[in-house]
Amino acid sequence: MHTADYIDLERTYATHTYTPLDVVLSRGEGVWVWDVEGKKYLDCLSAYSALNQGHRHPHIIAAMIEQAGRVTLTSRAFYNDQFPFLAKELCELTGYDMLIMMNSGAEAVEAGIKSARLWGYQVKGIPDNQAEIIVCGHNFHGRTITAISLSTTPLYKKDFGPLTPGFKPIPFGDVEALEAAITPNTAGFLMEPIQGEGGVIVPPDGYLRAVREICDRHNVLLLADEIQTGLGRTGKLFACEWEDVRPDIVLIGKALSGGMMPISAALGDHEIMGLYKPGMHGSTFGGNPMASAVARAALRVIVDEQLSERAQEMGTYFMDGLRAIDSPYVAEIRGKGLLVGVVLKDEVGDARPFCEQLQERGILAHETHETVIRFAPPLIITRDVLDWAIGEIATVLGR
């Protein structure tokens, strides 16, 4: 079997919901992946930041294998001996009182929205079924019906209605729009501190702090979707820390398992998370011992290997290197830590051909929003590898 055969097979039997590069991966280790032809690549996507710890981190693999040899799933109808520790360690690491464990990022978003609504009715006193949640234009919060109901991207929503009501979009980065959109029925404001899928959009300085202040003043919960930006990616454990902002609810997923399996969580304090009563929420696989053991190991790697600090240091180095490239195509390099967007000039258009050229040179990156190339390598990347990558990127993007 060759690359084209695998692609044909997949395209025959699986929905065409993605636009992958023509590369079929069969192995990964650290920052590297290999395709079925044996060619080696630097992974500069990290599965949309789910691989902050790199591919197959040995400590996480060890925890996974060890747990697989004992018990993998108990359901929450019984307790297991891993989840209590994950819950404690994750709360202690992030500074929140309690969490809800889910599987995918979209489910964490759903849990966050349910939590905000619950608080809105039971604590804020919003009349039944009137709760509103303010969201941002060009957001990405996942693909469930509710997550697409929040979206402002027509392709994500069209022909999938009727959608979930109760959401009000405002422009991202616009503080006045937030203030104007708040009503007595507003339960929460949901935002990504940096919009990843939206094209690595960093809001203006001071935005997060201003948002926090407005939410406090109007008794509105601040919900941060840190599924892509969290767990070290931007150079802090959470991107909101760049402005010393503590959201009321934080959503995490992706790197929470170091790329081993889908694991996600919504974190908050007692006043919100303590409102849940048995039966109000749940998930068969949420908090399963396998996921819990894996997430505990994945979090230990982030802390022990100081991945947030690494992301900050390597991200600065990487962005400096990219900015030094004399390019006729690039309009702007933006991002934080190792979440980097190379924005092409309008007249250059499509980022796809550049991604294909990078692929030929052994770098896997993917376009977001057509004109942005996102570079988000695993946070364990070294200066030497970055030097090599910057050189290759310069041949593709330089004069």
Ligand X SMILES: *Cc1c(COP(=O)(O)O)cnc(C)c1O
The answer to whether the beta carbons of residues 60 and 74 sit under 8 Å apart is no
Of the candidate spans 94-102, 112-120, 225-233, 362-370, the one that interacts with ligand X by CB under 6 A turns out to be 225-233
Is residue 57 a contact point for ligand X (CB under 6 A)? no
* Shortest reach from residue 105's CB to ligand X, in Å: 2
Beta bridge partner(s), residue 225: 251
* Shortest reach from residue 46's CB to ligand X, in Å: 12
* Shortest reach from residue 173's CB to ligand X, in Å: 16
Residue at shortest CB range from ligand X: 105
Q: Which of residues 101-140 bind ligand X (CB under 6 A)?
A: 104-106, 109, 140
For residues 111, 117, 122, 125, the Cα torsion angle rounded to the nearest 10 degrees is 170
Cα 107 to Cα 129: distance, rounded to the nearest angstrom? 21
For ligand X, give the closer residue by CB, 287 or 321: 287
Cα 36 to Cα 24: distance, rounded to the nearest angstrom? 6
Is residue 238 a contact point for ligand X (CB under 6 A)? no
* Shortest reach from residue 264's CB to ligand X, in Å: 6
Of the residues 35, 83, 238, 254, which is catalytic?
254
Of the candidate spans 39-47, 55-63, 148-156, 221-229, the one that interacts with ligand X by CB under 6 A turns out to be 221-229
Is residue 230 a contact point for ligand X (CB under 6 A)? no
Q: Is 345 a catalytic residue?
A: no
The answer to whether the beta carbons of residues 376 and 233 sit under 8 Å apart is yes
* Shortest reach from residue 279's CB to ligand X, in Å: 24
Is residue 287 a contact point for ligand X (CB under 6 A)? no
In degrees and rounded to multiples of 5, residue 318 shows phi and psi of: -65, -50
Cα 345 to Cα 361: distance, rounded to the nearest angstrom? 22
Is residue 193 a contact point for ligand X (CB under 6 A)? no
Is residue 197 a contact point for ligand X (CB under 6 A)? yes
For ligand X, give the closer residue by CB, 141 or 336: 141
Given candidates 41, 48, 285, 354, which one binds ligand X under the rule CB under 6 A? 48
Q: Which amino acid is at 124?
A: K
Is residue 146 a contact point for ligand X (CB under 6 A)? no
What is the CB-side half-sphere exposure of residue 12 using CA atoms within 13 A?
Answer: 6
Is residue 194 a contact point for ligand X (CB under 6 A)? no
* Shortest reach from residue 125's CB to ligand X, in Å: 29
Total residue length of the chain? 399
For ligand X, give the closer residue by CB, 120 or 142: 142
For ligand X, give the closer residue by CB, 54 or 142: 142
Our measurement of the distance from residue 248's CA atom to the centroid of its chain's CA atoms, rounded to an integer in Å, reads: 18
Given candidates 28, 30, 120, 142, which one binds ligand X under the rule CB under 6 A? 142
* Shortest reach from residue 146's CB to ligand X, in Å: 12
Show Cβ contacts of residue 289 under 8 Å, excluding neighbours closer than 6 positions.
67, 70, 71, 72, 73, 74, 80, 81, 82, 83
Is residue 335 a contact point for ligand X (CB under 6 A)? no
Q: Is 225 a catalytic residue?
A: yes
Alpha helices (runs of H) in the chain, residue ranges in sequence order: 3-13, 46-49, 58-68, 83-94, 105-119, 145-149, 154-157, 175-181, 207-217, 270-273, 289-304, 307-323, 352-360, 383-397
Q: In what order do the strands lie in the sheet with 330-336?
A: 330-336, 339-344, 372-375, 366-368
Is residue 141 a contact point for ligand X (CB under 6 A)? yes
* Shortest reach from residue 240's CB to ligand X, in Å: 13
Is residue 196 a contact point for ligand X (CB under 6 A)? yes
Is residue 192 a contact point for ligand X (CB under 6 A)? yes
Given candidates 253, 286, 289, 335, which one binds ligand X under the rule CB under 6 A? 253
Show Cβ contacts of residue 62 under 8 Å, excluding neighbours closer than 6 positions.
297
For ligand X, give the closer residue by CB, 120 or 198: 198
Cα 318 to Cα 332: distance, rounded to the nearest angstrom? 14
Q: Is 285 a catalytic residue?
A: no
User: 295-307 in b/e burial notation, b at 16+ Cβ within 10 A?
Assistant: bbbbbbbbeebeb
Cα 374 to Cα 376: distance, rounded to the nearest angstrom? 6
Q: Which amino acid is at 191?
A: M
Q: Which residues are known to be catalytic?
A: 140, 225, 254
Binding site for ligand X (CB under 6 A): 48, 104-106, 109, 140-142, 192, 196-197, 225, 227-228, 253
